[in-house]
Chains A and B, each alone.
Chain A
Amino acid sequence: MRRLIIAAFASAIMTGSVFAASDMQKVRMGTEGAYAPYNFINDKGEIDGFEREVGDKLCELAKLDCTWVKNDWDSIIPNLVSGNYDTIMAGMSITAERDKVIDFTQEYFPPDPSAYVALKGAADKVISGVVAAQKATIQASHVASTKATVVEFATPDETLAAVRSGEADAVLADKSYLEPIVKESNGALIFVGEDIVIGGGIGIGLRESDGELKAKLDVAIASMKKDGSLSKLIAKWFDGKMVKY
Chain B
Amino acid sequence: MQMCVDPDGLAGLSWWLCYLTTNTHYSFYLSFGTILILIFLCAPVVMVLGFAGALSRRSRFLPLRTVGLIYTSMVRGVPDIVFFMFVPIAMDQAIEAIRHKVKCPEVTAPIFQGNDFVVCTAAKMPLSATDQWVHEIYGFFLALVAFAIVFGAFAANTLHGALAAVPKNQLETARAYGMSEKQVFWRIHLPQMWRYALPGLSNLWMILIKATPLLFLLGVEDAVYWAGALGASKTQIYDFPHGDWRIWYFSALLIFYLLLTSVSERFFKWLTLKVTREHNLNTDDLSSGVTA
Q: Does A142 have its Cβ within 8 Å of any Cβ on chain B?
A: no
Give CA–CA (A208, B118) in the complex, Å.
10
Give CA–CA (A81, B114) in the complex, Å.
10
Interface size class of B (residues with CB under 8 A): 35 or more
B183, chain A: closest CB distance, angstroms: 25
Contact A26 B102 (CB under 8 A): no
Contact A81:B116 (CB < 8 A) given known A19-B127, A26-B128, A45-B23: yes
Contact A101:B115 (CB < 8 A) given known A14-B102, A17-B134, A36-B237: yes
| Stretch in contact with the other chain, from B88-96, B267-275, B277-285 | B88-96
Partner of A72, one of B22, B92, B125, B219: B219
Against B, the Cβ 8 Å flags (1 = close, 0 = not) of A150-176 are 000001011011001000000000000
Q: Does A34 have its Cβ within 8 Å of any Cβ on chain B?
A: yes
Contact B129 A14 (CB under 8 A): no
Q: Does A97 have its Cβ within 8 Å of any Cβ on chain B?
A: no
Against B, the Cβ 8 Å flags (1 = close, 0 = not) of A75-117 are 1000101110010000000000000011000000000000000
Against B, the Cβ 8 Å flags (1 = close, 0 = not) of A43-60 are 111000100000000000
Contact A161 B237 (CB under 8 A): no
Give CA–CA (A37, B239) in the complex, Å.
13
B31, chain A: closest CB distance, angstroms: 12
Give CA–CA (A169, B221) in the complex, Å.
32
A91, chain B: closest CB distance, angstroms: 14
Contact A161:B233 (CB < 8 A) given known A19-B129, A86-B128, A208-B115: yes
Partner of B117, one of A45, A67, A83, A184: A83
Against B, the Cβ 8 Å flags (1 = close, 0 = not) of A8-36 are 00000110110110000011100001101
Partner of A81, one of B117, B235, B239: B117
Give CA–CA (A207, B116) in the complex, Å.
7
Residues of chain B lying within 8 A (CB to CB) of residue A33: 229
Residues of chain A lying within 8 A (CB to CB) of residue B96: 83
Against A, the Cβ 8 Å flags (1 = close, 0 = not) of B184-225 are 000000000000000000000000000000000001010000
Partner of A16, one of B24, B126, B238, B240: B126
Q: Does A123 have its Cβ within 8 Å of any Cβ on chain B?
A: no
Against A, the Cβ 8 Å flags (1 = close, 0 = not) of B89-119 are 1001101101100110000000001111111
Residues of chain A lying within 8 A (CB to CB) of residue B161: none
Against A, the Cβ 8 Å flags (1 = close, 0 = not) of B1-16 are 0000001000000000
Against A, the Cβ 8 Å flags (1 = close, 0 = not) of B227-253 are 011001101111111001010000000
Q: Does A219 have its Cβ within 8 Å of any Cβ on chain B?
A: no
Give CA–CA (A34, B26) in the complex, Å.
18
Residues of chain A lying within 8 A (CB to CB) of residue B221: 70
Contact B238 A36 (CB under 8 A): yes
Residues of chain A lying within 8 A (CB to CB) of residue B23: 43-45
Q: Does B124 have its Cβ within 8 Å of any Cβ on chain A?
A: yes
Q: Does B132 have its Cβ within 8 Å of any Cβ on chain A?
A: yes
Q: Does B135 have its Cβ within 8 Å of any Cβ on chain A?
A: yes
Q: Does B169 have its Cβ within 8 Å of any Cβ on chain A?
A: no
Partner of A17, one of B93, B127, B244: B127
Give CA–CA (A26, B229) in the complex, Å.
28
Q: Does A181 have its Cβ within 8 Å of any Cβ on chain B?
A: yes
Give CA–CA (A88, B221) in the complex, Å.
19
Contact B232 A157 (CB under 8 A): yes
Interface residues of A (CB under 8 A from B): 13-14, 16-17, 19-20, 26-28, 33-34, 36-37, 40-45, 49, 67, 69-72, 75, 79, 81-83, 86, 101-102, 155, 157-158, 160-161, 164, 180-181, 184, 207-209
Known: A42-B238, A161-B232. 4 other contacts (CB 8 A): A45-B23, A83-B116, A157-B233, A184-B235
Interface residues of B (CB under 8 A from A): 7, 22-24, 26-27, 89, 92-93, 95-96, 98-99, 102-103, 113-119, 124-132, 134-135, 219, 221, 228-229, 232-233, 235-241, 244, 246
Can you list 19 residue pairs at the A/B interface with Cβ under 8 Å? A17-B127, A17-B130, A19-B129, A27-B128, A33-B229, A34-B232, A36-B235, A41-B229, A79-B219, A81-B116, A82-B117, A83-B119, A101-B115, A155-B232, A161-B232, A181-B233, A181-B235, A208-B113, A208-B115
